[in-house]
Amino acid sequence: MSRDEQRAAMRQVREGLIEELEGLYHQAFDRIGRVELGEGAVARLTQLLLRSREAAITPLQEEIEAPLITRAPGESPPAAAAEPTGA
């Protein structure tokens, strides 16, 4: 599999995971709406669920949107990236 094919496959996997997560969170929000809870409990659960959703989905979206950084064949990485400092 070529690098371009691998990138395309990874993008499809990430997009599929995002769709599945969106569906899961949608179901969870629906469930919260159906349960007889007080307004405060619903607000707390909703806030927790929103934070969870953001933490789960945002990294996947950022990776999809990240620019592709490439080097010419045979070119070594910059010295700063190649040797981490001990600081």
Q: What is the pLDDT of residue 9?
A: 93
Identify residue 14 by its one-letter amino acid code. Answer: R
**Domain range holding 19?**
3-65
Residue 44 falls within a domain, yes or no? yes
Task: pLDDT band for 87, please (50, 70, 90 cuts).
Answer: very low
Q: What is the pTM of this model?
A: 0.69
Give tens-digit pLDDT for 18-73.
Answer: 999 999 999 999 999 899 889 999 999 999 999 999 999 999 999 888 776 666 66
Residue 74 lies in a domain: no
Total structural domains in the chain? 1
CA pair distance 24, 7, nearest whole angstrom? 26
* Euclidean distance between CA atoms 48 and 59, whole angstroms: 18
Torsion of CA 45, 47, 51, 57, to 10 degrees: 80
Q: How far apart are CA 5 and CA 86, in angstroms?
A: 37
